[in-house]
């Protein structure tokens, strides 16, 4: 078992974000984290990355306590957060080299070249983030997270701001990680596109509980749960493959 979350409760300004959450992630698993806005997906990601501490409960990643944030723990984690975290004063190349140095990678430049090739980061690596599109920045952030070869990769909405082709590239990269035996937890609304390689799903409900199952099981669950779909109309439309108000007829997963 690579990740163990035991009875974790986390609150902010007196309001519970996660309540008594327990879950397990096996080594090599690619787990999708689904749920409406405010359900606690990003909070869970931050807790797993050690960027926040729970009020109670315990999180262990490959046996390391996340709350202690040891150097060993941090060397296991790779995080691609929702927001852009590329340094505005550094070019993509400088940012990657700095990150490689921070992770103590011996041949930093060679590793950077390898990762840039893998994620097709070409001449634009010499540019500052302000000159790049959202998709390019996203790709650079994923590549940067991959520099240290993390055992557990957390991707928070990795496909945000990407065009369909780029999205496919991101999912291909996740597939590669899966083939390498890495453990991946990713949040996204567009789960249909990645369901053929995601090994399990976690659904965060508004009641702050996390339910685990196989993708097909969730389709069935949603079919039976009109109430849930009614409460989250925009999300339901995304599951159907369209956007709210884009004129596309509902088809596919939901009745």
Partner 1 sequence: MAGVQAVFYREMLMLIRRIGGLGYLFSGLLFPMIYLLAFGWGLGESVAVAGGYIAYLAKGMLAITVMMNAFQQTALSVSAARFYYRTFAVLRLSPIHDGAIVLGIALAGTVRALIAAAVVFIAAKLFFGIAILTGPGVLGLVLTAFAFAAFGVAVGLSIKGQEQFSIVINFFITPMTFFCGSFFPITNLPSVVQPIVRFLPLSLTNQLLQATSFVGEAGIAALALVFFMLVIYLYSTYRVHNYSEF
Our CA angle for 178, 235, 224, nearest 5°, is 90
When asked if residue 102 is in the footprint of partner 1 (CB under 8 A), the reply is yes
Tokens 């053929």 sit at which residue? Answer: 196
Q: Which of 103, 124, 222, 235 binds partner 1 (CB under 8 A)?
A: 103
Minimal distance in Å, beta carbon 49 to partner 1? 6
When asked if residue 101 is in the footprint of partner 1 (CB under 8 A), the reply is yes
Contacts with partner 1, 132-161, as mask; x by CB under 8 A: ----------------x-------------
Residue among 52 and 219 whose Cβ is closer to partner 1: 52
Minimal distance in Å, beta carbon 172 to partner 1? 25
Q: Which of 20, 85, 168, 199 binds partner 1 (CB under 8 A)?
A: 85
When asked if residue 57 is in the footprint of partner 1 (CB under 8 A), the reply is no
Whether residue 140 contacts residue 121, with contact meaning beta carbons closer than 8 Å, is answered with: yes
Minimal distance in Å, beta carbon 227 to partner 1? 31
Minimal distance in Å, beta carbon 53 to partner 1? 6
What is the contact surface with partner 1 in residues (CB under 8 A)?
12, 46, 49-53, 69, 71-72, 74-75, 77, 79, 81, 83-90, 94, 98-99, 101-104, 148
């Amino acid at each position: 078992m690579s990740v163990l979350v035991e009875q974790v409760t986390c609150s902010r300004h007196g309001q519970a974000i996660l309540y008594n959450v327990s879950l397990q992630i096996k080594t090599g698993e690619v787990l999708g984290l689904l749920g409406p806005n405010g359900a606690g997906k990003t909070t869970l990601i931050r807790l797993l990355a050690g960027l926040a501490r729970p009020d109670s409960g315990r999180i262990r990643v490959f046996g390391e306590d996340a709350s202690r944030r040891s150097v060993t723990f941090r060397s296991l984690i790779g995080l691609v957060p929702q927001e852009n975290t590329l340094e505005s004063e550094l070019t993509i190349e400088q940012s990657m080299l700095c990150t490689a140095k921070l992770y103590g990678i011996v041949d930093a430049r060679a590793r950077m070249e390898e990762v840039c090739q893998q994620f097709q980061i070409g001449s634009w690596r010499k540019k500052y983030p302000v000159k790049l599109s959202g998709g390019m920045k996203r790709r650079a952030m994923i590549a940067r997270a991959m520099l240290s070869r993390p055992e557990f990769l957390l991707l928070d909405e990795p496909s945000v701001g990407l065009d369909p082709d780029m999205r496919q590239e991101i999912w291909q990269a996740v597939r590669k990680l899966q083939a390498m035996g890495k453990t991946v937890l990713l949040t996204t609304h567009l789960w249909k596109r990645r369901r053929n390689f995601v090994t399990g799903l976690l659904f965060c409900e508004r009641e702050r509980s996390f339910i685990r199952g196989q993708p097909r099981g969730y389709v069935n669950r949603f079919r039976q749960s009109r109430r849930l779909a009614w409460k989250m109309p925009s999300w339901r439309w995304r599951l159907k493959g369209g956007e709210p108000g884009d004129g596309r007829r509902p088809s596919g997963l939901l009745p």
